[in-house]
């Protein structure tokens, strides 16, 4: 990987807003503008804007795209109606997770249909190579990397939808959860998707790179009187942790299969052929050896990724994959993989850098938005 | 008495030390700088040592944790921990406003001068902070 860091089309806005910029997956992105806790609370109580342009956006065009994606993913893409969005895993032949992705089936105003896959920034190059290496089998499919040409913005929070609904030709409140459409803002094309990574209602937008600063400014302006905040990667992480959403490199990697990671819902194993299918069917039959659980460590000290989880007798039975303070709950939370025999234990201990603290299990997610 | 931050000594790792005579001993009062606290942001936890522990220059005496990360704190001096500001970990929000007075963490009775010549004066420390931005 080169040492040159890439920049989002919104880079200048972040710097002018005084963001603390950090290297992340080959990009320099905002960690925080003011305070992670304040940005987290803005998202939970009002709404927050996130620049997620570092995420990879890969477009599949042409006959055979559906078959190709079906072969690559743990869920079927073929048969998805226009406007559908699907969460799925891409696995290697051992069932190890290469990435978790969102695939949307979109139609342009001129009637052209294509699939758009959003991948993690840290896996972008790997997934591109994995996908393009299989193009020989699908001669009519074109794969194009749209990441540099576009920007991606998430608007998340209880006030998000009502506040931004008039900014687009298509009213986003008409989109159901996990639905997407192509619309425009002042004649500039926008992909609107009712998805997110915070546990709040909201949308993710993909716009052309050159339009991104104006779209961002318009969103901020519309949200100003409602207390919208720009939020960085720090708050994105604490928000997704409370919502118990997996993060690649924490709950997911090539040594973890989706069933162990608690993502059975994102795998269709019956009557399907895809990379990793037999490995996953086998794990599904035998049951995963480990399970992902939620823990509440006692006291104020957060357990972090890598802290060992012990049973009440002090035997190591697992490891923390993500942990930190939960701004919403006001106490530390942690997700961990523990051996399946212990997954239903009622008491655990966590070794936090040499000090052992008690932890009680709690159902995931740690936070669920009030139903409306 | 309010401590004057411009008269303190600083470690490159952002701890400050105020060295004073106290009953025939030389005692260093130690904390971390306002710059460091601002950089850490959103503090959630602090671990301080027990009274009686010996520390060496550059040795970790505790840790401070923000929402995002854990940062070790290193002793700028050599000696024995005489006193610990035990109320501080429960009032981390106050650290922001007053890092050099209310924010003191430990007092160390010096056993030697070891490490002291490595410390920076306020101007040199400020220069280091400006360069790291």
Q: Following CA atoms A203, A206, A212, A215 in sequence, which dihedral angle do they give, to the nearest 10 degrees?
A: -40
| Closest-approach residue (CA) in chain B for A332 | B44
Smallest CA–CA distance from B133 into chain A, residue: A20
Query: If you average pLDDT over residues A210-222, what whole number do you get?
Result: 97
Please name which of A357, A343, A277 lies closest in space to residue A74, comparing C-alpha atoms.
Answer: A277
What pLDDT is attached to residue A190? 97
Domains of chain A listed by start with CATH number = 6-54+148-242 (3.30.1360.120), 57-129 (3.30.70.1400), 289-372 (2.40.30.110)
Q: Please name the residues in contact with A169: beta carbons below 8 A apart, sequence gap of 6 or more.
A: A183, A184, A185
Give the helix/strand (H/E) hosting A264: none
- Shortest distance, CA A366 to any CA of chain B (angstroms): 17
User: Inter-chain contact A234–B68, Cβ cutoff 8 Å?
Assistant: yes
Residue A323 touches chain B, beta carbons under 8 Å: no
Closest in B47, B65, B67 to A36, CB measured: B67
Measured between beta carbons, the chain A residues lying within 8 angstroms of B89 are 300
pLDDT level of residue B41 (50, 70, 90 thresholds)? confident
A301: contact with B, CB 8 A cutoff: yes
d(CA A150, CA A144): 12
> What percent of chain A is helix, strand and coil (3-state, nearest 5)?
25, 35, 40
Q: Quick check: A36 and B42 CB within 8 A?
A: yes
Beta carbons within 8 Å of B76's beta carbon, 6+ residues apart: B9, B10, B11, B15, B16, B17, B28, B30, B57, B115, B116, B118, B119
Model pLDDT for residues B76-115, shown as the tens digit of each residue: 999 999 999 999 999 998 998 899 999 999 999 999 999 9
Question: Is residue A327 within 8 angstroms of chain B, CB to CB?
Answer: yes
Residues 219-258 of A with CB under 8 A from B: 234, 237-238
pLDDT at A371: 80
Q: So what's the pLDDT on residue A2?
A: 53
CB contact under 8 A, A301 and B42: no
pLDDT tens, position by position, A100-154:
999 999 999 999 999 999 999 999 999 999 999 999 999 999 999 999 999 999 9
- Count how many pairs of residues, chain A against chain B, have C-beta atoms within 8 Å: 34
Q: Say if CB A275 and CB A93 are below 8 A apart.
A: yes
Q: A35–B42: do the CB atoms touch at under 8 Å?
A: yes
Q: Please name the member of B42, B44, B68 whose beta carbon is closest to the beta carbon of A300.
A: B44
Residue (of A283, A288, A298) closest to A337 by Cα position: A288
Question: Searching chain B, which residue's CA lies closest to the CA of residue A34?
Answer: B41
Give the C-alpha separation, A311 to A298, whole Å. 15
Give the pLDDT score at A350.
98
Beta carbons of A276 and A74 less than 8 angstroms apart: yes
- R_g of chain A computed on alpha carbons: 21
Q: What is the pLDDT of residues A324-364, one digit of tens each?
A: 999 999 999 999 999 999 999 999 999 998 999 999 999 99
| Cβ <8 Å between B67 and A324 | yes
The DSSP secondary structure of B11-61, one letter per residue, reads -TTSEEEEEEEETTEEEEEEEE-HHHHHHH-SEEEEE-PPTT-EE-TT-EE
The CATH class that applies to domain B5-126 reads mainly beta
Q: Kindly list the residues of chain B whose beta carbon comes within 8 Å of any beta carbon in chain A.
A: 41-42, 44-45, 47, 63, 65-68, 70, 89
**Are the C-beta atoms of residues A50 and A231 closer than 8 Å to each other?**
yes
What's the mean per-residue pLDDT of chain A? 96
Looking at residue B67, what DSSP letter applies?
Answer: S
Q: Give tens-digit pLDDT for B59-78.
A: 999 999 999 889 999 999 99
Nearest to A288 by CA among A340, A227, A215: A340
In sequence order, the 6+-apart residues with CB closer than 8 A to the CB of A184 are: A168, A169, A190
Tell whether omega for the bond before A365 is within 30 degrees of 0, i.e. cis.
yes
Judge contact between A350 and A299, C-beta under 8 A: no
- Give every CB contact of residue A156 below 8 A, 6+ residues apart in sequence: A43, A47, A48, A50, A196, A197, A198, A200, A201, A202, A239
Cα angle for residues A265, A289, A196 (degrees, 5° grid): 30
The CA angle B122-B127-B129, to the nearest 5 degrees, is: 95
Strand ranges across the sheet with B43-47: B43-47, B60-66, B70-74
Q: What ipTM does the predicted assembly reach?
A: 0.82
Best of B36, B38, B42, B88 to mutate (most A CBs within 10 Å, chain A): B42
Q: How many CB atoms lie within 10 A of CB A184?
A: 15
Q: What is the mean pLDDT of chain B?
A: 94
- Find where tokens 């052309």 sit: A208
pLDDT for A267 = 97
What percent of chain A is predicted at pLDDT more than 70?
A: 99
Mean pLDDT of A265-276: 96
Among B37, B38, B40, B41, most A C-beta atoms within 10 A, so best to mutate, is B41
Q: Give the nearest partner residue to B45 out of A32, A234, A302, using CB atoms.
A: A302
With b meaning 16 or more CB within 10 Å and e meaning fewer, what string describes A128-138? bebbeeeeeeb
Cβ A327–B41 below 8 Å, yes or no?
A: no
A372 — pLDDT class (breaks 50, 70, 90): low
Nearest C-alpha neighbor of A152 from the set A109, A118, A114: A118
- Quote the CA–CA distance of A260 and A186 in Å, as a whole number: 46
Nearest by Cα to A199 from A16, A367, A19: A367
By C-alpha distance, the chain B residue nearest A326 is B67
Q: Is A157 on the interface with B (CB under 8 A)?
A: no
Does residue A32 sit at the B interface (CB-CB below 8 Å)?
Answer: yes
| pLDDT for residue B23 | 85
A76 touches chain B (CB under 8 A): no
Give residue for tokens 């008269």.
Answer: B7
- Count CB atoms within 10 A of the CB of residue A330: 9
State residue A143's pLDDT score.
Answer: 98
Rounded average pLDDT over A76-102: 97
């Amino acid at each position: 990987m080169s040492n040159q860091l890439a920049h989002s089309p919104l880079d200048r806005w972040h710097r002018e807003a005084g963001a603390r910029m950090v290297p992340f997956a080959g990009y320099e992105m905002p960690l925080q503008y003011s305070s992670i806790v304040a940005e987290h609370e803005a998202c939970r109580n009002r709404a927050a804007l996130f620049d997620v342009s570092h995420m990879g956006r890969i477009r599949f065009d042409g006959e055979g795209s559906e078959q190709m994606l079906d072969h690559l993913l743990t869920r079927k893409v073929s048969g998805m109606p226009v406007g559908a969005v699907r969460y799925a895993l891409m696995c290697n032949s051992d069932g190890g997770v290469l990435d978790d992705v969102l695939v949307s089936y979109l139609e342009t105003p001129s009637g052209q249909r294509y699939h758009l896959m959003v991948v993690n920034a840290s896996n972008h190059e790997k997934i591109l190579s994995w996908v393009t290496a299989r193009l020989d089998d699908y001669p009519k499919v074109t794969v194009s990397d749209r990441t540099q040409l576009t920007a991606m913005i998430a608007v998340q929070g209880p006030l998000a939808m009502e506040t931004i609904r008039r900014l687009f030709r298509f009213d986003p409140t008409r989109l159901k959860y996990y639905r997407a459409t192509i619309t425009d803002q002042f004649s500039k094309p926008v992909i609107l998707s009712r998805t997110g990574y915070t546990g709040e209602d909201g949308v993710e937008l993909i716009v052309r790179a050159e339009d991104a600063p104006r779209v961002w400014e318009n969103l901020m302006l519309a949200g100003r009187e409602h207390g919208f905040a720009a939020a960085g990667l720090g708050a994105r992480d604490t928000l997704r942790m409370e919502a118990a959403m997996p993060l690649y490199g924490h709950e997911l990697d090539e040594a973890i299969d989706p069933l162990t990671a608690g993502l059975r819902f994102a795998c269709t194993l019956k009557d399907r052929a895809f990379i990793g299918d037999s490995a996953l069917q086998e794990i599904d039959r035998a049951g995963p050896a480990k399970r992902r659980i939620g823990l509440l460590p006692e006291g104020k000290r957060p357990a972090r990724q890598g802290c060992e989880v012990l049973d009440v007798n002090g035997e190591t039975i697992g490891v923390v994959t993500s942990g930190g303070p939960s701004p919403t709950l006001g106490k530390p939370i942690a997700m961990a993989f523990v051996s399946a025999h212990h997954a239903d234990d009622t008491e655990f201990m966590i070794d936090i850098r040499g000090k052992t603290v008690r932890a009680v299990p709690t159902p995931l997610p740690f936070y669920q938005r009030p139903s409306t | 008495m309010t401590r004057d931050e411009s008269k303190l000594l600083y470690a490159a790792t952002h701890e400050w030390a105020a060295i004073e005579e106290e009953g025939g001993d030389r005692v260093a009062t130690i904390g971390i700088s306002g710059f460091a606290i601002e950089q850490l942001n959103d503090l959630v936890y602090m671990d301080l040592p027990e009274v009686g522990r010996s520390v060496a220059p550059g040795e970790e005496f505790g840790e401070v944790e923000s929402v995002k990360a854990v940062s070790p704190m290193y002793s700028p001096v050599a000696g024995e921990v005489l006193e610990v500001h035990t109320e501080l970990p429960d009032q981390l929000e106050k650290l922001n406003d007053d890092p050099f007075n209310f924010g003191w963490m430990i007092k160390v009775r010096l056993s030697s001068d070891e490490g002291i010549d490595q410390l920076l004066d306020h101007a040199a420390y400020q220069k280091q902070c400006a360069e790291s931005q």
